[in-house]
Amino acid sequence: MRSERHQHKKKRKRIRWSSIFLLLFLLVGAVALYSYMQFRSGVNDSERAGEENKQEYHFNGESDRNGLTNILLIGSDARGEENSRADTIMIASYNPDTESYKLTSIMRDTYVEIPGHGKNKINAAFALGGPELLRQTIKENFDVSLQYYSIVDFEGFVRLIDEAFPEGVEVDVEKRMSEGIGVTLEPGVQRLDGKHLLGYVRFRQDAVGDFGRVERQQNVIKEVGKQFASIQTLPKLPKLVGVLTPFVNTNMDTGDILFMGKGLLSKDNRNIETMRIPVEGSFENQRVSGAGAVLVINKEENRNALEQFLTQ
């Protein structure tokens, strides 16, 4: 009798564990199915507008010697037009050991050596040879290895903001802005939809010009990152990736994007550290024949500053 009771208990234990494993399997399957359906929903919402002119690029990405994942971010509104210069150039760095994120903006008028093309503004490298030549240019001038690239069409930015934040993103607009951005913004704290937020980060028709624009871009990215890290936004992540995917030309796969994006969104008050190239006091405003108004930099000083920023 004792042996029969013992066997019966073992059988009930096996049944209980089998039920738990089955439940976990069904739960994981349901999450995976939900994520895929949300992703496809986002893609379907955007792909007609975004896929038509997507170009294919060769990119000889290199791993970073310090173990970072460095991504070349390029903002463009050319929608696939050839020989267009990069409107925005950034390096997004992810440290998998510390799960930290850093963002470096390279001002587009920075005067550098472009391999095989002489000296010019750094944003000309994209027009001359796409993301690969821009990668080579950053490597030669600043000694930073870039593993991935992402070219983001501005229409994708607008759709992402509108999907993630139906009520808009809260911004303190510091002055009236209208020239060259397609919208009119009045000063004051307000919630901006995607179109108006894009206008805000692109405005540069004032005394500080591109310096103010770069600062606004970094501030908005940090603010959006904080607002993303919420219970309401995290379940939307698969759909948000789907919404943006047709407007992004990248050599990253969806799994990598979700992995790094989930780390950012799953922690409250995520601090994204930022810097700007050239750093303060390391450049001169000059006018160069054939290039126009440029920022002539102290290459050694900026290279050292960038390495210190990324590795600390």
What is the token pair recorded at 192? Answer: 């901006």
- Kindly tell me if the per-residue pLDDT of 40 is higher than 70: no
Long-range contacts (CB closer than 8 Å, 24 or more residues apart) made by 232-235:
233/164, 233/265, 234/262, 234/265, 234/266
- Kindly tell me if the per-residue pLDDT of 83 is higher than 50: yes
Pure H helices in the chain? 2-50, 124-142, 154-164, 194-202, 209-228, 237-244, 254-265, 299-311
Label residue 255 exposed, middle or buried (CB < 10 Å: 0-12, 13-18, 19+).
Answer: exposed
Measured over the CA atoms of residue 231, residue 233, residue 237 and residue 239, the dihedral's sign is positive
Q: What tens digit of pLDDT does each residue of 115-137 get?
A: 999 999 999 999 999 999 999 99
- What CA–CA distances, in Å, run from 136 to 28, 29, 59, 144, 201? 42, 43, 10, 9, 27
Residue 115 and residue 203: Cα distance in Å, rounded? 31
What is the token pair recorded at 195? Answer: 């179109």
Q: What letter does residue 269 receive in the DSSP assignment?
A: T
Q: What tens digit of pLDDT does each residue of 136-156 get?
A: 999 999 999 999 999 988 888
Give the number of other Cβ atoms within 10 Å of residue 140's Cβ. Answer: 13
Q: What tens digit of pLDDT does each residue of 240-271 get?
A: 777 777 888 889 887 777 667 666 655 554 67
pTM greater than the 0.85 cutoff: no
- Kindly tell me if the per-residue pLDDT of 58 is higher than 60: yes
User: What's at 141, amino acid-wise?
Assistant: N
User: What's at 243, amino acid-wise?
Assistant: V
pLDDT of amino acid 271: 74
* Phi, psi values for residue 28, rounded to 5°: -65, -40
Q: What tens digit of pLDDT does each residue of 157-205 get?
A: 888 888 888 899 999 999 999 998 899 999 999 999 999 999 999 998 8
Q: What tens digit of pLDDT does each residue of 2-34 get?
A: 455 555 555 555 555 555 555 554 444 444 444
